[in-house]
Amino acid sequence: MKEKTKRIIREYAESLLIAAVLAMIIRTFIVTPFKIPTGSMEPTLMPGDKIFVSRFIYRFNRPQRGDVVVFRYPEDPRRDFIKRLVAFGGETVEIAAGKLKIDGRLIDQPEIFQQIFYENQGAYGAPGAKITVPPNHYFVLGDNSASSRDSRYWGFVPQKLMLGKAFVIWWPPGRIGRIK
């Protein structure tokens, strides 16, 4: 009886160890859960929403304008931020009359850019400011422009700080769905 008990305990311990290692690998390299702490991305993401972020997608595909991205905050890389990707290295960003211009052209795709009134705020979002994004960096903005601390205030996100793309809300049940 003693041998049988030892064998059962060992089997459970091995199974738990394998499960823990697989969970760490999945969370580190494939999909990571995040909780939205503030209203800076309203109405797309609400405080308390829980989302999944694809950690591997940008290893195979380039980020796209309009992606909702998670990155390490440039001023404190221990913190993670979530914003919408607006411009790439080499592009010039301007906020004029509540709309975004990239290289002098009004940006209306994806459609979310037509729905948001962008406030002229911060050192990089002042009225009339035309900001050129450095190579290998991104310019990101919150969807709730009036109350978002984003690239308008602290500048650009280095490519190396990009963690992944937010793709689904999984909590609360009434908000489950793909992030657009």
Whole-number percent of the chain with pLDDT over 90: 76
Identify whether the C-beta of residue 85 lies closer than 8 Å to the C-beta of residue 113: no
Place 14 in a pLDDT band, splitting at 50, 70 and 90.
confident
- Residues 40, 54, 145, 148: which is the catalytic one? 40
Segments making up each domain of the chain, as ranges: 31-178
In this predicted structure, what is the pLDDT of residue 60?
87
| Catalytic status, residue 40 | yes
**Tens-digit pLDDT profile for residues 106-161:** 998 899 999 999 999 999 999 999 999 999 999 999 999 999 999 999 999 999 99
Provide the pLDDT confidence category of residue 17 given band limits of 50, 70 and 90: confident
- pLDDT of 130 reads 95
Catalytic residue check, 151:
no
Please, is 105 exposed, middle or buried when counting C-beta atoms within 10 Å of its C-beta (0-12, 13-18, 19+)?
exposed
Please give the model's pTM, rounded to 2 decimal places: 0.86
Which pLDDT value is given to residue 1? Answer: 63
Fold of 31-178: Umud Fragment, subunit A (2.10.109)
Most confident option among 5-9, 26-30, 160-164: 160-164
pLDDT at 95 over 80: yes
Q: Look at the block and give the residue holding tokens 């422009």.
A: 145
Residue 30: CB atoms within 10 Å: 14
Residue 29 clears pLDDT 70, i.e. is over it: no
Which residue, 93, 66, 63, 67, is CA-closest to 155? 93
Question: Is it the case that residue 19 has pLDDT exceeding 80?
Answer: no
| Least trusted range by pLDDT, from 44-48, 53-57, 85-89, 131-135 | 53-57
* 11 has pLDDT over 90: no
Instruction: Report the number of secondary-structure helices (H) and strands (E) in the chain.
Output: 4, 12
Mean pLDDT of all residues in 92-113: 94
Catalytic residue among 83, 145, 151, 165: 83
